[in-house]
Structures are given as C-alpha cells and as structure tokens.
Amino acid sequence: MSKVRVIQPFIGGGFGGTKNDSLAGDFCSVMFSRMTGRPVKFVYNMEEVLRTCRRRHNMIVYNKMGMKKDGTITAMQSRVIADGGAYTAIGPLTMYLTGCMSTLPYKLPNFKHDIYRIFTNNPISAAMRGHGVTHTRFAAEIQMDMMAEELGIDPVEIRLRNAITAPHETINKVTVHSCGLVDGIRTLSEHPLWKDRREERKEGREERKEEREERKEGRISRGVGISSTSYLGGARQRGHQSCAAVVRLCEDGTINYLTGATDCGQGSDTVLVQIVAEELGIRIEDVDIKRVDTAYTPCDAGSYGSRVTVLAGEAARKAALDVKRQLAAVASAIWKTGAEDIIFNDGQVYVKDSPERSMSFRKLSQIACYEGSGAVIIGKGYSGYGIEELDFDKGIGNSGTSYSFTSQLTEVDVDMETGFVRCGKMVIAHDCGRPLNPVNVEAQSQGAVIQGMGQSIYERFVMYKGNTLNPNLADYKMPLSTDVPEIEFIDIIAEDPNGPYGAKEASEGAIVSAPPSIVSAIHDATGIWFKELPVTPEKIVIAIKGENKKESLK
C-alpha cells in the first residue's frame, strides 16, 4: 500500500456515493497507466454518473407508532425494504443507521425495526448525505404529525412532550451528552412564521370554509410545516478510524499544518486551521495547511459521517497543544515561572497575572529554534475516541461520538390548480454544539436544506428494468438558484464534551429535517397527507381531484 501515492486536488460537492467506494474508472485508470507508463485521466460525463454511479437507497418504509391520548409516544415499529442495487457496497451500514437513529430525537421506550436490503438490477445504492436517516425519520415525523392532528394536539406541543434532554440514553444504547432540541423547538414556536400560523388556526369555521372554497377555485394556498430531527457526528466504525495531525513550528513563528483529512466542499480546511490558530493564540493567516499527499501527510479514514471537525479537529488541537507545551517550557525558563502560567493569546506570549512580562509569539519561536544548539519543534496528535462495537443484529451501540439536533419551519405556496409547490421561507434552528465558524455552519446548512428540498419535491430516477430513463439534468429535476427560498438560520448552543471547543456535527442534520418540514407544510396548504417522495405537481393535482370528488359525493 505504501507504493500507492494519492495527491488530493481541490474538490467540492462530495456528499456520499462515489467517495465511499471505488468505481470502475478508478481501477481502469490505474491499470491503464501501469500498462502504458503514462499519466491517465478518467472522466465521467453527467449521463454516465447518473446511469452507473452510486446513489441513495430507494426505500419502502412501513411505520407503526403507539401514542397516548396526551401525545406521549409509547412505542414504534418499523419495517423497511431497501433497493440495494446489484452489489453490497456500504449497504449494511446504511441499513444499520436507518434503525439506530430512529430512537432519536424523541423518548422512545419500545422499538422494533426490521430491514431488508434487496439485490436488484438497478445501479448500486450506497451512502448519501443524511446517510440512512432521511427515510425513516421522514416517515416517523409525518406519522407523528398525522397522529397529533387526529388527537387535536399542536405540532409544537407534541414535540416538546416527547423531546429528549441531555444526558440521555436511548433504548438501543445511543448516549447523548448534549442536546439543544427543546430550545430549538421553543425558538421556532415563538417565530412570527409559526405564530401567524397559530393565529390562523384560531379563525372561526366560516373563515376556514371560505378558504377551502378558494382552494377549489385554483387559488394559491399557503402552508407552514415543522419538523425536528437528529443526526450523528464523528461516525464510529471498525477498522482504521484514527485521524492524525502534524504541526511544525517554523523559525519565523508561522505554522506548517499537515493532515490527511480531506476538504471536499464542507470547509473543514478553514475550521482545522482555526483550531490550530486558536490553540496557539495566533492569526489563521500564520497557519499554512498543506494539500493532502499520502507521501507526506498522515493517514486519514476519510470525509464522511460528519467526522472531520470532531475527529480531525481533536487531532489538530492535540498537535497544537504539543507545540504549545514545548514553547511554554522555553518561556517558563526565561521568566522563571511555571509552564502552566504561560498564556498564548493574540500573537503574544506572557505570564499569567504579569502581562508586563511578555514577548511576541514570533520572538519566542525564534528563541526556541535558535538559542543554544537550536531545536526543531514539531507537535503531533491523533484522535483517541476508540472503537465501540456495533451490534448489527440488534441495532445496539453508538454510531457517533455526538449527536446534533435540528428543528425546521418551512412555508410553502401550493398552486391548487397546477400542483406547483414553491418554498417561500425556511427557518432552521440547529444545535451543532458550539459553531466554530458560524458563517460556514450557516452556509453548509443552507446547502443541506436545499438538497432536502430537491429530494422532497424535485428529484427522482425513472427506472425500467435496471435502466435509468432520465440520465440528464433536463429530465432529472433539481432545484435551481431561482428556486431557493429565503433561509433564516438560528444557532442553538449546546456544547458537547466530546468535540473540540464543544463542537458537534454541523449541517448534515438539516437535510434530514427538510423533507418532513416541507411535506407537513404542503399538508397544511392542501389538507392532504403525502407519504411518498418526491411530492410532484402531478401527485398533488391527482390527490386534490380525489379529495374534491369525495366532497362532491357527500
């Protein structure tokens, strides 16, 4: 393996699938290069990607939920049939996550889950952002809303009655050390978008009757939906899972930072550099991160399962602390004080409670490197969370080191004549622990909810006997920039003890919260529950016509 060298280029938009598995082209390019002794570039066009590459599992979910009259959940049973495609790939882990994460974000004293991954002639199914959780969480969230409506309980109230608080251990031994779920739900309940909806529900019967008549005339109907979800961060698996970092102090007081962690569009390079700079009390401009090159950089398990900030961040912080410890020893010898009293902050190094005894970080670096016989200061660190055995038969065990919680409001306008849905506004209340880079967290969450919107009302593969009939972006519909709604993002702070500076998974949970929130809003607008994604205009028109026919027969 040491004879294989991988040099990582700048890439973006890695959301599962092809980064979890090697594809045929990967091996063909390597073998052809070896045969010819020349560089080989293998490029898929869009049609080849949509026909042959990995995709999210298509699933049929049967869900049964028990609930008391006061809205307290007593039990849930689910059965899932998944289209695995022609090969196994990462499928078993996907299947595990569908059930493992179903016991969050609500208290669930009893749970039974059966899942079947079926081999078919379709393209191989693998991981996709929100890995395994989007399907079962959508089914459970919508079903809970249906039961709340039947019992006459407000959707916010039913979530607050069942929401977990930290510390919490689920029935399948998932341990939660921090949780901002309740704060997120309460924050959304006070938002004008939800308050306006609540006021509308207080209208008299005559007003609601007039609204229904307007719907029959093909008017635009507006609805607001809510959802609450959870997602794992710092994915735990068997095999090589350790992240490592090397931090070298340069003689001019700057830092060379080496990591095997790959930034595939999520902005992890920025966050990891921030962690090193924060620990040493210097500017991020003074930290130079090198491109991943397996000839020089430490080995890393990969960018998936929202693990980079949590685990590679832990390694980066430990490596920076190692450098800090060595520099503190030099400074303590100069000022005749304990190393624990040396403070690093804002490019300066000084003695605690004696700020007059200070020097610049650059000067201390020069002294440490050149004084006497000189020194080479290098720090190293690696993640040490260890492996927790996962019971794939019983679904027991922590799949992550920490868990984020996301609540979402969505406002939609539904054209009752054409079935066209337009998302007007989204409000996301996201608990990612402590956001290390708030701008990055917000931007990534915005991207996640738009992806969730795509799978809710746009995206689907049309299949016939294993053949993809819409392998192009004209027929495979995706949201355009003009379809993006107004998005408001709210940080819910719930620092986690297992993440660097209290950080947890950021943004992947937002792709899980989007579909149930959107479909709940469509129900609010139309009065019809949709249980199959995507909710296309055709499905809405057919359902409305069916409802109108029922009304006319009464």
Helices (H), 65-204: 91-100, 133-151, 155-162, 181-189, 192-201
Which phi and psi angles does 301 have, rounded to 5°? -75, -20
Q: In terms of DSSP bridges, do strands 402-415 and 220-233 run parallel, antiparallel, or are they unpaired?
A: antiparallel
Q: Are 216 and 548 in contact (CB under 8 A)?
A: yes
Using the Cα atoms of residue 351, residue 356, residue 360 and residue 365 in order, give the sign of their dihedral. negative
Q: Give the C-alpha separation, 428 to 502, whole Å.
A: 20
Distance CA(35)–CA(177), nearest Å, equals 53
- 3-state SS, 489-504, equals EEECCCCCCCCHHHEC
Catalytic pick among 279, 442, 505, 508: 508
Bridge partners (DSSP) listed for residue 343: 350
Cβ-count burial 494-525 (b if 16+ within 10 Å, e if not):
bebebbbbbbbbbbbbbbbbbbbbbbbbbbbb
Does residue 508 carry a catalytic annotation?
Answer: yes
Cis peptide before 534 (omega within 30 of 0): yes
Per-residue buried b or exposed e for 204-237, using 16+ beta carbons within 10 Å of the residue's own CB: eeeeeeeeeeebeeeeebbbbbbbbbbbbbbbbb
What is the DSSP secondary structure assignment for residue 285, as one 8-state letter? G
Q: Indicate which residues carry an active-site annotation.
A: 508
